[in-house]
Chain A
Amino acid sequence: MANLNLETMSQEYYDVLKELGNIGAGNATSALAQMLQCKVDMLVPQVKLLEFQDVATIMGGEEQIMAGIYLGVSGDITGSIMFLLEKDSARNLVKMLTGVSAEGEEFSDLELSALQEVGNIITSSYLNSLSSMTKLRLSPSIPALAIDMAGAILSVPAIEFGVLGDKILLIQTQFFNEVHLDGYFILIPDLESYGKILASLGIQ
């Protein structure tokens, strides 16, 4: 399993990771609905193994402004997880949460801390579902937030994946309630962790 390579991953492994992505995103959506106290629908997430370049393209180009929430995972497996939200979606979400409609280009401190909290809840619920499915102990670190160009934010997971290969595993999720929100998850388990996740699900 130490030689597991994303590019040569079998269809079975890929399907499992896809399913974990689906269930995790589903849980994250429930958490979001609870937080907003309204019904939130989710389209079936799309799970893709993409070249570095193509990830930013999906998000609207390298210069598209995104909010990225990034946190480390430790415990039985190690790695990190990132949740990305397009800037206008981030702004809408914060508005729904705080009731404050911000003006201007810059995010206020209140918006930033609300966004960090949203990210925290979404990523934690994602990890919780992963943890209960695999029976692995996962503890998230305190999340860090950045609002910047998609390319720049994505350089962080790209570099982590870059140690292993030239592709990124991206889970694209669309949420709906009154407004449409485009969100993306990037799961970055380290090499040995892929094996542990799969083994815990009974796949050798």
Chain B
Amino acid sequence: MGETIKVGMADLKVCVSPDAVTTLGLGSCVGIAIRDPVTKIGGLAHVMLPDSTQIKNNSNIPKFADTGIKELVRQMVAKGAKQSRMVAKIAGGAQMFAFQNKSEMVRIGERNVEATKKKLAEMKIPILAEDTGNSYGRTVVFYPETGDFIIRAVGKPQKTI
């Protein structure tokens, strides 16, 4: 068994099998797990906001879906992964609180998921599976060896996508 490397909020990490990557308590943020099945190099990004170009204070690269995904792929390539072989799985983007008014900030989970999909499509990385939306938090663990993306939520059975 390898190590499990923790990814914080607005953070990203790359690992090589048998190591795994995890992030705890994803809410409206999105966890993006990417893997190169040949080299078994994998990575996980925990992004908070959809678009770095709409924010003035945008130096924190892993905070945004657009820059975070790009940086995760760059670091994986630097380790020897190939972008053309990469596949992704995504989780999170929940709406934690139910409000009557649908402001932009309330829809942030949804917007994070949309931005993630857009960026992955732009980089030609297919999404194999997703567990997004709803109104609950998720803890995820990603194993680059098998591509298994394990999702745990409070009061729900664990699932693997």
Interface residues of A (CB under 8 A from B): 5, 52-53, 56, 61-63, 65, 68, 70, 72, 105-106, 141-142, 144-156, 158-160, 162-166
Contact present for B63 and A63 (CB under 8 Å): no
Kindly list chain B residues whose C-beta atoms are within 8 Å of the C-beta of A144: 97-99
Interface residues of chain A: helix, strand, loop or mixed (majority): mixed
Contact present for B155 and A149 (CB under 8 Å): no
Say which residue of A145, A147, A149 sits within 8 Å of B25 (CB atoms).
Answer: A149
Contact present for A159 and B29 (CB under 8 Å): yes
> B35 at interface (Cβ–Cβ under 8 A)?
no
Nearest-CB residue, chain B, relative to A188: B105
Inter-chain pairs besides A155-B9, A162-B49, 16 sampled, C-beta below 8 Å: A5-B57, A68-B97, A72-B101, A105-B155, A148-B25, A148-B27, A149-B24, A149-B27, A151-B25, A151-B137, A155-B28, A159-B29, A159-B49, A159-B105, A159-B108, A162-B10
Contact present for B8 and A146 (CB under 8 Å): no
In the complex, how many angstroms separate the beta carbon of A57 from the nearest chain B beta carbon? 10
Contact present for B137 and A149 (CB under 8 Å): yes
For the complex, give the distance between the alpha carbons of A21 and B135 in Å.
Answer: 29
Interface residues of chain B: helix, strand, loop or mixed (majority): loop
| Residue-wise interface mask of B (73-101) relative to A, using a CB-CB cutoff of 8 A (1 in contact, 0 not) | 00000000000000000000010111111
Kindly list chain A residues whose C-beta atoms are within 8 Å of the C-beta of B99: 72, 141, 144
> B149 at interface (Cβ–Cβ under 8 A)?
no
| Residue-wise interface mask of B (128-158) relative to A, using a CB-CB cutoff of 8 A (1 in contact, 0 not) | 0000000111110000000000000011000
Contact present for A150 and B25 (CB under 8 Å): yes
Kindly list chain B residues whose C-beta atoms are within 8 Å of the C-beta of A154: 9, 25, 27
| Residue-wise interface mask of B (2-46) relative to A, using a CB-CB cutoff of 8 A (1 in contact, 0 not) | 000000111100000000000011111100000000000000000
For the complex, give the distance between the alpha carbons of A5 and B139 in Å.
Answer: 31
Nearest-CB residue, chain A, relative to B26: A152
For the complex, give the distance between the alpha carbons of A68 and B94 in Å.
Answer: 15
> B160 at interface (Cβ–Cβ under 8 A)?
no
For the complex, give the distance between the alpha carbons of A53 and B62 in Å.
Answer: 13
Contact present for B10 and A152 (CB under 8 Å): no
Contact A159/B48 with A151-B24, A152-B94 known, Cβ cut-off 8 Å: yes
